[in-house]
Structure 1
């Protein structure tokens, strides 16, 4: 990612130059006010330095499928080398289901074992997919309507992709609510939540001319993303450090909340 340094007399002028030189999808890397030395303080106006860069180009769908097919072939070769074959499994004792539910499942199944996992799902399980999720994904893929039976492992991977995409779209439709809800980004430290939030606010402010407000809140640890406050100052978007439930912005205001990252092993 090649950064571009822009020096301007005001934050507004700096962002206009970023939009013109880098483009509307520019990523703001750093913002700082340039110090004025010596006697220049008497007549010189403060300037702002902005480091921005264009986002890395994401591979297209065909390229992603090609990379996936290559990876699948590599994993398939490793599995054959290890002698891994599909196995029939019963629900594991650590499936975290209530005991009565487990008894009902065993009573309904009797001596019949569960259907073997799809080979593509076995590949995902080998690289870390939880067994309970693997069983669910395999069952959903077998019962996926409108899909032709895959003939090989790459086609099975494409089927899994369609199943997960359809499932996520169902969740999104289910969670859609009228009005303008608060957007909260949650993830592990370093996953890019704050960067995405800053870019989101930039696009809403400049491209859609929509009012926004950001809350940079602490959790069990302090929120040290100071650059988010500087970014909000450049955008002329309020960045609050405390959540006040009695203070409600206008209904058309985009409300974004930034929390510190949560480690994956933290409950």
Structure 2
């Protein structure tokens, strides 16, 4: 693969140079405005710097065409047309991956790795279908490092496939690559391997409603004997809300103010299959709140802890929440309010950064509905918008 940098007064002139030297099979890797010349920082000229590449193994047959008389478009439109033709004429004939091809792909990936992703004017100009995937990942607020890794993988597949894959195929590649980013990490809802399920998180994320959904699923679907424990003694409304759910589901509930209360409650429910523990939602920036949990809940017991995060929150806030709660062993995430946002990349970001799977995702207030047990493929489909 031949890669070369060109500097010209404008894009039209750069395209002319590229076509003359590399031919119509060239692909634009990057373009940006630069300043050249000048004296002592003054009188600099604005130019266009373009990095282009061509597959030297491509031996496309030239089919003679009959020139037809046509109206010459205006200069601006003509320049756009030339650029579009160059980008669309990428169709190297690749019979099968070879050592030389892999070497060229690695060379291209090395170039792309040095280019910032997602910044206007500096992002590499990927082939059109991959540009669509790049924009999708940006819209979904997927971490830029994850984006770069995924896009380089897509680009490699694109050239190995012969640069003629359909948009549906590229979507399928993206789905598979996102799924692979979360492989070997435990996912899914309650497995009943632990008797106690503890739900923690900041205020307003929907912990109590989510706990009721889990309880309903365990009672109705799995026919389990379930009980509630709440340590949320800061809000009377929270206790009343959980009591209402307990009454509807016909399950018992205990309110615990101290760790002794908690231990007594565990003895009361010793013959139950599953104990679901609700905790107070308070300001997650107050580290003392997390410390207080240890004074009420016996984390040395047969317990599994889920951290509940709202998908409407900022990525940085989610990370701060995790860091505050990390003094407790977090087993999995629960993501709520999926129906209140159109951006789901945070799920991939959090799983990838902390190597913690997702137990459930909720997408509404209805109990016991509006909750999904999660796996990597569901997250991938949610991000790319596939039902």
TM range (shorter): 0.3 to 0.5
TM-score, scaled to structure 2: 0.31
TM-score, scaled to structure 1: 0.42
